[in-house]
Amino acid sequence: MEDESLKATLDVDSYQKLKKIDNPELIRFITRYRELCSPDDVFVCTGSREDVQYIRAEAIRSGEEKELAIEGHTVHFDGYYDQARDKKNTKFLLPPDVDLGPGINAMDRDEGLKEIHEILRGIMRGHRMYVLFFCLGPLNSQFSIPAVQITDSSYVAHSECLLYRQGYTEFVRLGRSNRFFKFVHSAGELDARKTSINIAKRRIYIDLETETVYSTNTQYGGNTIGLKKLALRLALNRASKEGWLTEHMFIMGVHGPDGRVTYFTGAFPSLCGKTSTSMLKGESIVGDDIAYLRNKNGVIRAVNPEKGIFGIIQGVNSRDDPIIWNALHAPGEIIFSNVLVTDAKMPYWSGNDSSDPPTRGYNHAGEWVAGARDEDGNEIPVSHPNARFTLDMHLLENLDPELDNPEGVEIRGIIYGGRDSDTRVPVEESFDWVHGVITMGAALESETTAATLGTGGERKINPMSNLDFLSIPIGRYIENHLRFGMVDNPPRIFAVNYFLKDADGNFLNARNDKAVWLKWMELRTHNEIGAIKTPTGLIPRYNDLKKLFLIVRGLEYQEEAYTKQFTVRVPENLAKLERVEKFYRTKVPDTPQTLFIVLEEQRKRLIQAREEFGDYISPFALADAGL
């Protein structure tokens, strides 16, 4: 029945493309939403060069993107009030017997499905429906998850072609055995600027039962590029059932002695150094945002489900971000969104190298001049703070050659980083897997900044930097991590902190010191360098860092700097333990008892060290004591 319906309404080419896929569930899915959304026509993308180029051309023809001066560069604008993830209207659709725990935005599944299908009814009239097939992860890999995207936005379709591996051949290969994610998106009615009008009906609903995401009346990538953070939620739920991990982590190769490459993953909350770490010059990148991790014959391996970057562009400059900067100024297929476009058809964004910012141009508000204000009286910035760039990572000079390895890369270290002005040392290794999961992952805490909330310094606990995307209860998430490391040689777990300050508020770390911390961690994973035991973990020895600073940065590393950076701050560490314990006792009813045991053990070690050495303990004192 579904097959005949499709045949009657698709052109011959699109129908033949779908007929090659032997999967009735897929045909039912596409038929249902073609009938419900009522598009004028349908384009099925096989991922061929011709099909992908057609989508890019359609994005320009439709006006959703405009060409810029450099070959391959285009610009897209979202609506003025459609510039970020809509957390309020992003909801899990759950049956009455399912509870994901406190803090999860959810609604009744039947009610949500009824509402979203009513919004979708006829929403694509006057639009073309694009049907696209992707693979989250390398092709023909145990790690990977096929996905089908339905959208009426050529911009969304174009973005996903840059960000994800084409998956049509996977759908053909897997046929009826395929378990795939499903995404339905419509930008809805558009204005003259080709931006979504009906923001009041903006909805992003996640149905875990059928592994389907619905997104309506929005174009902003975080709400519409379903395979990114929305698929992260679906994958995390599936991973929990199957015994693997879906993490909000980069994957990078750290280059060690004699050409050795050691792979790390890393989780950092926003504005804590995640991107700058993964893109360090001299190292190689596998992924900047999401990782799938599996136990393969006792070895933890990981893949990046993406092949591109949807990155914040504000502040990107040639000094701090040379690799991205070079890519953004060379020919190649790149979509800029919500930047300013100058009369010379060049993108401009806040925080770039220019010492002479433009006074006029075209941006997310339309025609713009310096000092312009919106209807609420707010000054309109030259580019939106959440302006983005979208590119395929093959444009980056530091791309790791293992990106598409279906077996993934072996992970030797996991890094957790947060913004912490007064407690954690710059780099520290956990005693073991359980200690690291609890005191560095589950206890990951970061200070807010004045730039984001108006008042800085509030500390937020964000387990594994994945709290916003959890689709399972927090306690189960932590328990999954504890079980996952039950292998003979699990990855080492490290914590980093680039934001430690002295009493006068000055940073104790230089911006590029992170390159040294990475090299130290790389050596530790191969047991080629020693460490000092402290009450909270293992820290570097001074002489080892002195050598590394000279090799990596060409700098003399002073004992005074080392002492300030690696002093154990007992009162602050005890206060942190209290905050973490209070969070889990009051907000996470299913917290594993192991967490409280490990926190209490750490508290006892800190108190014992304070009795012997005082509140602030020099790393040299601990080294001499041989703890």
CA 162, distance to chain mean position in Å, is: 16
Phi, psi of 72 (to 5 degrees): 90, -15
Residue 250 bridge partners (DSSP) = 266
Short-list 416, 476, 617, CA closest to 99: 476
Cα distances (angstroms) measured from residue 253 to each of 18, 259, 300, 325: 39, 11, 15, 20
Catalytic residue among 45, 135, 161, 272: 272
Asked if residue 447 lies in contact with residue 459, where contact means CB atoms within 8 angstroms, the answer is yes
Say if CB 429 and CB 490 are below 8 A apart: no
Coil, helix or strand for 120? helix
> What is the identity of the amino acid at 104?
I
Backbone angles phi, psi at 313, to 5 degrees: -100, -20
Q: How far apart are CA 342 and CA 345, in angstroms?
A: 5
Tokens of 95: 């049956």
Strand order from edge to edge, sheet including 340-341: 347-348, 340-341, 360-363, 366-369
Which residues lie closer than 8 Å to 184 by C-beta, 6 or more apart? 33, 37, 120, 150, 151, 212, 213, 214, 215
Residue (of 169, 155, 125, 195) closest to 59 by Cα position: 155
CB 406 within 8 A of CB 139: yes
Does residue 272 have an active-site annotation?
Answer: yes
Tokens describing residue 391: 């590119």
DSSP-assigned letters across all residues of 347-387: EE-TTSS-SS--SEEEETTEEEETT-B-TTSPBPPSS-TT-
Distances from the Cα of 123 to the Cα of 34, 69, 129, 278, angstroms: 10, 34, 11, 40
- Catalytic residue positions? 272
